[in-house]
Amino acid sequence: MAMKALTKPTIYQVAQLAGVSIATVSRALRDSELVTEQTRERVRAAARQLRFTPSGSARSLAEGRHAANGIVFPDLVGPYYAEVILGYEAAAAATGSSVLILATHGRRDPAAAVRDLAGRVDGLTVLGRTVGDDVIGQIAASGVPVVLLARDPVPGVDSLRAANASTARALAAHLAGHGHRDVTFLGDPEGSPDVAGRFAGLRAGLARQAGTELHLVRPRGLDLQAGEEAARALLRGRRPDAVVCANDEVALGVLLAAEAAGLRVPGDLAVTGWDDLLAARFAGLTTVRQPMRELGAAAARWLHRRITETKRNEPARAARRRILATEVVVRRTCGPHEEVQQQ
Amino acid sequence: MAMKALTKPTIYQVAQLAGVSIATVSRALRDSELVTEQTRERVRAAARQLRFTPSGSARSLAEGRHAANGIVFPDLVGPYYAEVILGYEAAAAATGSSVLILATHGRRDPAAAVRDLAGRVDGLTVLGRTVGDDVIGQIAASGVPVVLLARDPVPGVDSLRAANASTARALAAHLAGHGHRDVTFLGDPEGSPDVAGRFAGLRAGLARQAGTELHLVRPRGLDLQAGEEAARALLRGRRPDAVVCANDEVALGVLLAAEAAGLRVPGDLAVTGWDDLLAARFAGLTTVRQPMRELGAAAARWLHRRITETKRNEPARAARRRILATEVVVRRTCGPHEEVQQQ
DNA sequence: TTGAAAGCGTTACCAG
DNA sequence: CTGGTAACGCTTTCAA
């Protein structure tokens, strides 16, 4: 049977077996027009027999491109980033690019990891609070195109995000319409640009509503447990009319804590989230829906444009910015509605 | 100010600027002992000034390794794969490896994409129903270590999965204990090895229970909508006592359809899922919990072992198999319980 | 401690 | 149409 593959076969072995030059092998395997059907077949047979797979690094080096791009995100907990990455991967695949992922969360030195990644790709998408502006700036200046996603802009770098402030204002108006006056925001504006935008929008929206007040409480994180803990503490003190949470997971934690405390939602306490996770629907949680997959896809497409225009040495166009629309999804937890609102 | 980076700087420019040879640059930048502190600083300064980032492909080619491994999965919908990938990325990072992801779902030619990927990595993890045994076999035989995850084993290849059949048997016993006799399984055993295992286990479990019957209905897919559609059709006919679903999303769809049909769960119909998504908790869905993150991490670690032992040309050990334990999570939808069961 | 030079496995140009 | 042969940018002996 087949002998053991002690060492990976190279183009040379294929050439030898097929009785042609390596140049011909390269051409035949990449469907160049410049080969006889006959030679092509012979080469293919040899390649198959040897189980030859071209070395990606050698190819990249010779072609002067990596045929890959990277995406950097803080973590992968919760469906949010997963959806973004899925959209990203699909769009990147359409442009013939592989995707390298990098989670900065548990890293010793995120900046170093991102710099290293920058050397392995044709372009990079960076999400949220992963590395500082300085790192972004250096990478962009070193000639690697960068797209920012859900992150504060950096001069000269494309950036893409979902609407936060405007929708948060709409949410504020909706809550005020329910008669909620004493509102607490559960989230850390310093923790992420998205959260900052949501808080700012909420504040602006409530400022237009007479007699409302807004308090800020920072949970330990953005997960279920952080929400639960924060709510437990919060509900022991003066209880607000409504808790607006930085994301759905925190809001779901609040729901759990409220239930444990014997409070009715929305009767005793209104709660809202952000993201519209699947769980939000089953919890009846009023929230905000974001086009996550589209966000990822758009980033991949922008990056591809930058990469091709850089390669062609075209005059670099000015940095682009775009904000994708989001929408309030009204369900049960924001307050009693006359008519049944179904989503 | 800094001039435009028309072309990416190479080690040669750094060497020239620092007034040393490229060998010294290479050593200095990689913290070799063989450089004076003084030279090292000079080189570093030059590299910084030029914003030099070593080319990943050149480095890989020279080192004879990619310092990257790949993970292939069908899709990324639902939190399942995201969790697996997160665990994988974290473990891979710990071994100094980058991660290349590849979703086969919308691809024209998954096999070709996976073969290409195999040329860009030191090892590969393949999940579920993405490519056939033949492709797996070729890749493994070509000298690229492979680990299979949630997939039927291939001779000579390590494989890792979460328990399906045994836990499904336990689930069957639990349902029978509730008095459910007429059970329908909602899922396509041919669609994935996991689903096949769950169905087989359920069948085996019910076979031990006198007077039970099991029916099989194949939904269009594994998402919410598929479950909803399938349930709508199912509930129009002879209604079963219990519907065991291939995964949580399908089960949640069934819940929606049951509600729309005015049925009480679990009073009129018991429902179970599989995966223990966050949404399952809020829907009160009885389901099965899988150690998803651990699954991914274990795959990355196994792969790393294979890679190092292959590189050292050690005698390849026999293929390993492991099945990680899963557990039934009893909630509301499987039937009435005397005592409140909290999770 | 440093430099020169030989690869690493492809692609692509230039002759024939 | 095919073969020879420079690149590609880095790491790593081998000498000095």
Rounded Cα distance, B252 and B272, in Å: 9
pLDDT band, residue A2 (cuts 50/70/90): very low
Per mean pLDDT, which range of A49-53, A166-170, A327-331, B74-78 is the poorest?
B74-78
- CA distances in angstroms from B188 to A82, B192, B215, listed in the order given: 25, 7, 12
Of B66, B40, B56, B65, whose CA–CA distance to B8 is shortest?
Answer: B56
pLDDT value at residue B341: 43
Could you tell me which residues come within 8 angstroms of residue A282 by beta carbon, excluding any fewer than 6 positions away? B252, B255, B279, B282, B283
Say yes or no for a CB contact (<8 Å) between B5 and A279: no
Which amino acid type is present at position A187? G
Beta bridge partners of B127: B149
**Token duo for residue B317:** 């050990």
B281 in contact with chain A, both atoms CB, cutoff 8 A? yes
Note the strand D nucleotides within 7 A of protein beta carbons. 1-5, 7-13
A218 Cβ under 8 Å from any chain B Cβ: no
- Assigned token pair, B192: 């994935």
Structure-token pair, residue A273:
């989230």
Q: In the prediction, which pLDDT does A255 show?
A: 97
A22 class by beta-carbon count within 10 Å (0-12 exposed, 13-18 middle, 19+ buried) = middle
**Å between CA of B185 and C1' of D14:** 70
Per-residue pLDDT of chain B (343 residues; tens, 9 = 90+): 344 456 889 999 999 999 999 999 999 999 778 889 999 999 999 999 999 999 999 999 999 999 999 999 988 777 788 889 999 999 999 999 999 999 998 888 999 999 999 999 999 999 988 999 999 999 999 999 999 999 999 999 999 999 999 999 999 999 999 999 999 999 999 988 899 999 999 999 999 999 999 999 999 999 999 999 999 999 998 899 999 999 999 999 999 999 999 999 999 999 999 999 999 999 999 999 999 999 999 999 999 999 998 887 777 789 999 999 999 999 999 988 754 444 3
pLDDT at A125: 98
Lowest mean pLDDT among A27-36, A38-47, B168-177: A27-36
For residues B154 and B140, what is the distance between their CA atoms, to the nearest angstrom?
Answer: 10
**Protein CA at A35 to nucleotide C1' at D2, angstroms:** 8
Do residues A195 and A246 make contact, with C-beta atoms less than 8 angstroms apart? yes
The confidence score (pLDDT) of residue B32 equals: 79
Tokens 């405390």 belong to residue = A261
Average pLDDT, chain A: 92
Residue–nucleotide distance: A311 CA to D11 C1' (Å): 27
In chain B, positions 223-242, which contact chain A (CB-CB < 8 Å)?
224
Residue B146: list chain A partners with CB under 8 A.
none
pLDDT of residue A19: 94
- Which residues have C-beta within 8 Å of that of residue A4, sequence separation ≥ 6? none
A77 close to B (CB below 8 A): yes
Cα distance between residue A198 and residue B237, in whole Å: 48
In order of A78, B107, B114, the CA distances from A98 in angstroms are: 24, 13, 11
Contacts of A245 (CB under 8 A, 6+ apart): A185, A186, A187, A227, A251, A254, A271, A272, A273, A274
CA distances from A287 to A207, A290, B329 (A): 21, 10, 28
The position carrying tokens 């410049």 is: A34
Tokens of A44: 């293919």
Total beta-carbon pairs less than 8 A apart between chain A and chain B? 177
CB contact under 8 A, A56 and B66: yes
User: Which residue lies nearest D6, CA-to-C1' measured?
Assistant: A62
**In sequence order, what are the residues at sequence separation of 6 or more whose Cβ sits closer than 8 angstroms to the Cβ of residue A284?**
A331, A332, A333
* Joined tokens for residue B180: 């459910």
| Position A217, amino acid | V
Residue of A nearest to B116 (CA): A53
pLDDT in tens, A7-20: 789 999 999 999 99
Residues in chain B within 8 Å Cβ distance of A252? 278, 282
Identify from A120, A247, A292 which residue to disrupt to test chain B contact, counting B C-beta atoms within 10 A and taking the largest count: A120
pLDDT exceeds 90 at position A33? no
Residue B156 backbone class (left: φ over 0; alpha: ψ -120 to 50; beta: rest): left
Q: Answer yes or no: do A57 and B120 touch at CB < 8 A.
A: yes
Residues in chain B, overall count: 343
A150 DSSP 8-state letter? S
Length of chain A: 343
Per DSSP bridges, beta strands B242-245 and B270-272 are parallel
Query: Considering only alpha carbons, which residue of chain B is nearest residue A292?
Result: B77
* Residues of B in Cβ contact (< 8 Å) with A116: 56, 98
- Cross-chain residue pair A5–B143, CB shorter than 8 Å: yes
Query: What domains can be seen in chain B, in order of their start residue?
Result: 11-58 (1.10.260.40), 68-162+292-312 (3.40.50.2300), 165-289+328-342 (3.40.50.2300)
Q: Kindly give, in sequence order, each residue whose CB lies less than 8 Å from that of residue B183, ignoring residues fewer than 6 positions away.
A: B172, B175, B202, B206, B212, B213, B214, B215, B240, B241, B242, B243, B244
Strand C footprint nucleotides (protein C-beta < 7 Å): 1-5, 7-13
Q: What does A153-165 look like in DSSP terms, one character per residue?
A: --TTSEEEEE--H
pLDDT digits (tens, 9 = 90+) for A292-322: 999 999 999 999 999 998 887 777 789 999 9
CB contacts, 8 Å: B143 with chain A: 5, 7-8, 51
Share of chain A above pLDDT 70, in %: 96
Between the alpha carbon of residue B149 and those of residues A64, A283, B8, B324, the distances in Å are 34, 32, 39, 11
Length A334 CA → C10 C1' (Å): 61
- Chain Cα centroid distance, residue B284: 25
SS (H, E, C) chain B: CCCCCCCCCCHHHHHHHHCCCHHHHHHHHCCCCCCCHHHHHHHHHHHHHHCCCCCHHHHHHHHCCCCEEEEEECCCCCHHHHHHHHHHHHHHHHCCCEEEEEECCCCCCHHHHHHHHHCCCCEEEEECCCCCHHHHHHHHHCCCCEEEECCCCCCCCEEEEECCHHHHHHHHHHHHHCCCCEEEEECCCCCCHHHHHHHHHHHHHHHCCCCCEEEEECCCCCCHHHHHHHHHHHHHCCCCCEEEECCHHHHHHHHHHHHHCCCCCCCCCEEECCECCHHHHHHCCEEEECCHHHHHHHHHHHHHHHHHHHHCCCCCCCCCEEEECCEEECCCCCCCCCCCCCC
Over residues A236-254, the pLDDT tens digits come to: 988 999 999 999 999 999 9
Give the per-residue pLDDT at A338: 54
Residue A343 has pLDDT above 60, yes or no: no
Helix (H) or strand (E) holding A243: strand A242-245
- Say how many CA atoms lie within 13 Å of B167 toward its Cβ: 28
Q: Letter for the amino acid at B339? A: E
By C-alpha distance, the chain A residue nearest B1 is A141
d(CA B240, CA B232): 13
Q: What sign results for the dihedral spanned by CA atoms A328, A330, A335, A338? A: positive
In A248-267, the residues whose Cβ lies within 8 Å of chain B are: 249, 252, 255
A99-139 pLDDT per residue, tens: 999 999 888 899 999 999 999 999 999 998 899 999 999 99
Q: Cα-flanking dihedrals φ and ψ of residue A269, to 5°?
A: -155, 130
Question: How large is the average pLDDT for residues A29-58?
Answer: 92
Strands B98-103 and A98-103 come out as antiparallel
Cβ distance of A56 and B8 shorter than 8 Å:
no
